[in-house]
């Protein structure tokens, strides 16, 4: 699970634990089909997913560590993808 994965990182002596939200985008959520959202995840649902990722990171981190919200890169959601081509 995500909690178990982040807890493994949290056990390492780190000062900052990033959330598992690195390449999230509105379009990425819209393109994600689930049984609850067969037409894609709507924009109104995105904050709940982000909040869940933050909550999981908070639970996984060591007591002295901080959580950083990881967002981006913007280029990954551009068409054509600009992240790798500049």
Q: What is the pLDDT of residue 86?
A: 54
| Residue 12 in domain | yes
Query: Which domain does 65 fall in, by range?
Result: 2-77
| Residue the block writes with tokens 């981190």 | 61
Q: What is the pLDDT of residue 83?
A: 58
Helix (H, G, I), strand (E, B) or coil at 67: strand
Token pair belonging to 16:
């900052």
Q: Are 23 and 84 in contact (CB under 8 A)?
A: no
pTM for the full predicted model? 0.77
What is the tally of structural domains in the chain? 1
Q: How far apart are CA 56 and CA 68, in angstroms?
A: 12
| Residue 84 in domain | no
34-83 pLDDT, tens digit per residue, is: 999 999 999 999 999 999 999 999 999 988 999 999 886 666 677 666 55
Token pair belonging to 23:
């390449």
**Spatial CA neighbour of 56 closest among 29, 12, 15, 19:** 19
């Amino acid at each position: 699970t995500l909690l178990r994965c982040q807890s493994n990182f949290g056990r390492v002596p780190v000062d900052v634990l990033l959330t598992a939200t690195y390449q999230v985008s509105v379009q990425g959520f819209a393109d994600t089909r689930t049984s609850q959202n067969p037409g894609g995840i709507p924009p109104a649902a995105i904050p709940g997913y982000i909040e869940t990722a933050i909550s999981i990171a908070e639970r996984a981190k060591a007591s002295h560590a901080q959580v950083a919200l990881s967002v981006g890169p913007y280029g990954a959601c551009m068409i054509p993808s600009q992240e790798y081509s500049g």
